[in-house]
A and B are shown apart, each in its own frame.
Chain A
Amino acid sequence: MSHVPEPRLLDVLEGRGATDRAHVDACAQCRARLAEAQAGLALAAGAEVPEPSPVYWESLRRQVSRRVDEESERRPAFWRRVSLGHALAAAAVLAGIATFLPVAGRHPAPLPEPPLPAWSALPPAEEDEGLDVLRAVAPVVADASVPAACGGVAECAVDLSDEESQVLADRLRREIGPGKDL
């Protein structure tokens, strides 16, 4: 014979479950279990909590009210409404804005000029064959105007005055030949 499970025995104890009641009446084991729970209920029902003075309830209400007021003073109304989840979500949004704002801006700041390499494509003056050509075609310029600090043909040409540049250009044209670009 299967016995009545506890939840249904409790229904019997509460006055429900007519079918199970019939089983309990016929089953000594279920009857004993039910009787024990009934006795426990009778004992539990008699155990009252000592009733405090009526004054106590007012005291408790005031104590709670005072602590709530202290809590309110510590936390401004705005922050009481902001849960930790809200605060974290707001922080995440701000972090996202801070991360993407420079990229998404309409006028991004210009990138800095890359530093010039220390290495130069021009050879040093003593190895610059171009200077020899220059001296050959423009002895005046080459003899008089190539400064000691001149690093090569290009730098020397940059230092020429307009008149010297014009003289150099005329001589180069004659050397290279008519119709050729410099």
Chain B
Amino acid sequence: MPSIPAALAASDESAPELAPARRHEDDRDAVAACQGGEREAFDRLVEKYQRDVYRLCYRYVNNHQDANDMAQEVFLKAYRALDRFRGDSSFSTWLYRIAVNTCLNFRASRKPEAAELPEALADKSQGPLERLERDEQSRLVREAVTRLPEKQRATLILKIYHDLTHEEVSAILGSTVGTVKANLFHALGNLRKMLVAEAGE
């Protein structure tokens, strides 16, 4: 039986993987430096987390332009609030919480743009037809994810695409671990139902 993938969010080669404890320690140092007035320390945090934040935003809005705007907004909010960050949670959990709230507050009236990012990298190992099919499948799934109920969508995005633990997701969303698990289970079932229904239309 397949288990939930360990790291579905595409890792970037330029950002080497760190052990969680070391990563949190580095974050604490960077946050302390920011709070001490070291402006460059915030740039380091942005560089480290911009991929995660951008991808999270993309999952909500399903287009590059809005994801870009929202990612900037997330970091700006984090910068404004950084002096109030006391380290009760890890910096990444705190940042994810800001990101999820920013996504939830995003104006639903703004329609997602249909066009993908023009410079999106194509997988050259696949033929054109296979790529088209895969891209279309991805698009359908991403759109279905955006139609999930709010809590289910947030849980699925954080758990499946950002490889967070149930505890981390519960801390970000302010839910119990049991609720997170139930929401994820429902999200997966609903996603399947939506896609089957669309395929039948």
B-binding residues in A (CB < 8 A): 5-7, 9-11, 13-15, 33, 36-57, 60-61, 63-65, 67-68, 71-72, 77, 80-81, 83
Asked if A37 and B192 sit within 8 Å, CB to CB, the answer is: yes
Contact sample, A vs B, 10 pairs, CB 8 Å cutoff: A6-B185, A7-B178, A14-B4, A15-B1, A36-B192, A40-B188, A40-B189, A47-B141, A57-B47, A68-B42
CA distance A132 to B163 in the complex (A): 114
- Given contacts A6-B186, A37-B192, A65-B46, whether A51 and B83 have CB atoms under 8 Å apart is no
With a cutoff of 8 Å between Cβ atoms, the chain B residues found around residue A51 in the complex are 10, 120-121
With a cutoff of 8 Å between Cβ atoms, the chain A residues found around residue B138 in the complex are 46-48
B116 within 8 A of A: yes
Asked if B1 and A40 sit within 8 Å, CB to CB, the answer is: no
Minimum distance in angstroms from B153 CB to a CB of chain A: 11
Asked if B39 and A52 sit within 8 Å, CB to CB, the answer is: no
CA distance A75 to B72 in the complex (A): 18
**Contact pick for A41, options B2, B72, B195, CB 8 Å:** B2
**Contact pick for B141, options A46, A56, A60, CB 8 Å:** A46
- Size of B's binding interface in residues, CB under 8 A: 60
CA distance A43 to B8 in the complex (A): 12
Asked if B192 and A13 sit within 8 Å, CB to CB, the answer is: no
CA distance A15 to B1 in the complex (A): 7
Q: Smallest CB-CB separation from A83: which chain B residue? A: B84
B182 within 8 A of A: yes
With a cutoff of 8 Å between Cβ atoms, the chain B residues found around residue A40 in the complex are 187-192
* Leading 6 A-B pairs by shortest Cβ distance: A40-B188, A47-B141, A7-B181, A40-B192, A50-B120, A53-B119
Minimum distance in angstroms from A83 CB to a CB of chain B: 6
With a cutoff of 8 Å between Cβ atoms, the chain B residues found around residue A9 in the complex are 185
- Given contacts A48-B138, A52-B64, A52-B117, whether A7 and B191 have CB atoms under 8 Å apart is no
With a cutoff of 8 Å between Cβ atoms, the chain A residues found around residue B134 in the complex are 46
Asked if A50 and B76 sit within 8 Å, CB to CB, the answer is: no
CA distance A80 to B1 in the complex (A): 52
